[in-house]
Structure 1
Amino acid sequence: MAILELTKAEKEKILVDIARLAAAAGEGAQRICGGPSNIKSVILTGEDIANIRDAILPLCGDDGRLNMYMYGDWKGLDEVIKNDEPMAILVMGTDATRSHLGWNCGACGFATCGEFNKHAREVREGPTRGRGTAQGGPCCMWLLQDFGIAVVTAAAAVYEMGVPTRIHTSFGSMAVACGYLDGCMQALGISVGPWRLGTWDEWYNRPTMKGTFSLEDIYGDLWRCFPTHFAGFNGRGRPLTKTDPAWQAKGIYCAHVYDEEYENKRKAAGAKFAEVTAQIRQKVQERRQQGGK
């Protein structure tokens, strides 16, 4: 009997096969709405993972401070690519902006599915095309729940095969922006690997981020993102803000302000992101026209 040693290519093929099985599990999962599946799946490896990495960075800024959380995903992918490690990304997408149900449940905010579809079509055809920061809308809540069921089922399938995994909003959004899932308004990415010891820490504790930001950076970012977690009792309508252990004596309150410096950085990042993703979309389209996978 032959003794087989797993090469990088063989490891990558195994991860791709696991991603295929996970896609089958996700697309075949039990759904609330029934009917044909409107979920699309793509598996990214090699150059295409590098494209996702390159698309993420402009939104974070070179130092990561524009989006410290997405920067963690960028840095994780960057380490994988630099170390030439086997990995796959399963991206699943859908379009929950078109409802065929006729249930008229009102969960979307409209009295009937017909009213929702009319509004959603106007948004899709408008200047924003319904794209938010990460996902698109407005959405039928039932179709969106079906999509969530499919994605978590796929991620669970990867986990059951003993491979580290996590669901990433960033990977899904970048895949749509780069042209891998045209026709999808919502998308989520599922990391399959990388193939290495201690990968659980890579996507959860993220040791690659150690030393990137100071404690003050992290605390300040959390405070800005989740002010209600740091608010005192709001019985008088203006709760004190818990900036540090002595918060009760300091009398610091939240306020809405226009941050011109941050807005200028954010707009410049958006312009750079549009430039980078347009270049990637062009490459992806050219490969498809040439019959490349």
Structure 2
Amino acid sequence: MTKRIKERRIRMSVYDGLNAANEHMLEVAKACAAAAAKAPTLTGQLDLRMEILTDDDLEPIIQVLETLGKTSAFQLHDASAFRTYKNKGILPPILLMGADLTKPPMWHCGGCGFSDCGEYLKYVSKNKGVGIGAYGPSCLWKVIDFGIACDHACACAAQHRAEARILFSVGAVSLFLNHLEGCSFILGLPIGPVGQFRWFDRMPWTKVLSYDQRMMVQMAGAPNLFMAFSGGGKPIIKTKPRWWEEPTFMKVEPDEEFIKAEAKGQAEVYEKIMKLAGVLDEDEED
């Protein structure tokens, strides 16, 4: 008697390649966190802390970036990208990495400018303040260690062929929204979405500003990259291909209108942060 052996076909689901790749970015973010934790620091005392934020957990950060973007093209860059990716359903996970960089290893090296770590700590205990997005002053050794850890996370993303770019803006906003409690400095690393140079070309920005506006932002943000010889005392900015014809000169002057707009924008940002952090009720007015 012959036995018939029936071959059982195992049916596999068909996945959309791009969707599957974007879903995989969360696993890449986990790998990046592992790489950062394994980074060979100099002091061995970094005490790195990390979180991975996804989906709706990113909305408060996006809202603050959008508020900052009213007066700063730097934050507008990031806000427009995140909002576009969320609207398209491809919002990437973000790996937050932070540490308390104000705690020295007690090596008394003097690199911070103080005679020893004790004098440094005395100063920090009375003068620990916030700059534009971090608390300080910081121990140089801890800054180096933190940079090493973040570098390893970025390298891991590159090894996985994932779109990524370390962002100061996301880290600063996360710090003010009480992520990674106890850290004096945080950086954010978006992992994805799948594409080509998404965090460098910033194509969503083209939908927010016109070409002329983008060019002005680039020239104002990095005038040295557009400057002709400045030794004559009236530096020319290369605003067009034939820039030497009807040249445009750089002028340094006060801007009271912008100062007022920036102060108003900062007040809006602080109010937004306090509401999102639960310090201020949503319907509470100034």
TM-score range, shorter chain: 0.7 to 0.9
Query: Once the 2 structures are TM-superposed, how far is the Cα of residue 232 of structure 1 from its aligned partner?
Result: 5.6
- Given the alignment of the two structures, is residue 240 of structure 1 paired with residue 235 of structure 2, yes or no? yes
For residues 84 and 234 of structure 1, do their structure 2 counterparts lie closer, same or farther at Cα, with a shift above 3 Å needed? closer
Give the gaps of 5 or more residues in structure 2.
Answer: 1-9, 280-286
Give the corresponding residue for 2:203: 207
Give the corresponding residue for 1:259: 255
After superposition, residues 1-293 of structure 1 pair within 5 angstroms as: 1-6=10-15, 14-34=24-44, 36-61=45-70, 66-85=71-90, 87-106=92-111, 108-124=112-128, 130-194=129-193, 196=194, 199-230=195-226, 238=233, 240-242=235-237, 244=239, 252=249, 254-255=251-252, 257-282=253-278
**What's the Cα RMSD here?**
2.9
1:27 touches 1:37 (CA, 8 Å); kept in 2? no
Q: Residue by residue, what CA displacement relative to the aligned partner does 1:83-137 show, whole Å, maximum 9, x if unpaired?
A: 222521001011111212323232x23232222222222222xxxxx21112332
For residues 234 and 44 of structure 1, do their structure 2 counterparts lie closer, same or farther at Cα, with a shift above 3 Å needed? same
Give the gaps of 5 or more residues in structure 1.
Answer: 125-129, 284-293
For residues 9 and 121 of structure 1, do their structure 2 counterparts lie closer, same or farther at Cα, with a shift above 3 Å needed? farther
Query: Once the 2 structures are TM-superposed, how far is the Cα of residue 254 of structure 1 from its aligned partner?
Result: 4.2
Farther off after superposition, 209-218 or 3-12? 3-12
2:52 touches 2:95 (CA, 8 Å); kept in 1? yes
| One-letter identity of the residue aligned with 1:145 | I
Structure 1 distance, partners of 2:120, 2:155, is 32
Query: 3-state SS of the aligned residue for 1:51?
Result: helix
| One-letter identity of the residue aligned with 2:200 | Y
For residues 148 and 2 of structure 1, do their structure 2 counterparts lie closer, same or farther at Cα, with a shift above 3 Å needed? farther
Farther off after superposition, 109-118 or 143-152? 109-118
Structure 1 distance, partners of 2:12, 2:20, is 14
1:172 touches 1:187 (CA, 8 Å); kept in 2? yes
Query: 3-state SS of the aligned residue for 1:184?
Result: coil
Larger Rg: 2
Query: 3-state SS of the aligned residue for 1:190?
Result: strand
Identity of aligned residues (%): 24
Structure 1 distance, partners of 2:169, 2:250, is 32
Structure 2 distance, partners of 1:147, 1:276, is 29
Query: 3-state SS of the aligned residue for 1:110?
Result: coil
Structure 2 distance, partners of 1:207, 1:226, is 19
Alignment TM-score, normalising by the size of structure 1: 0.79
Q: Residue by residue, what CA displacement relative to the aligned partner does 1:229-284 show, whole Å, maximum 9, x if unpaired?
A: 45565667x463435565699694543x332211111111111111211222229x
Alignment TM-score, normalising by the size of structure 2: 0.81
Alignment coverage as a number of residue pairs: 267
For residues 234 and 116 of structure 1, do their structure 2 counterparts lie closer, same or farther at Cα, with a shift above 3 Å needed? farther
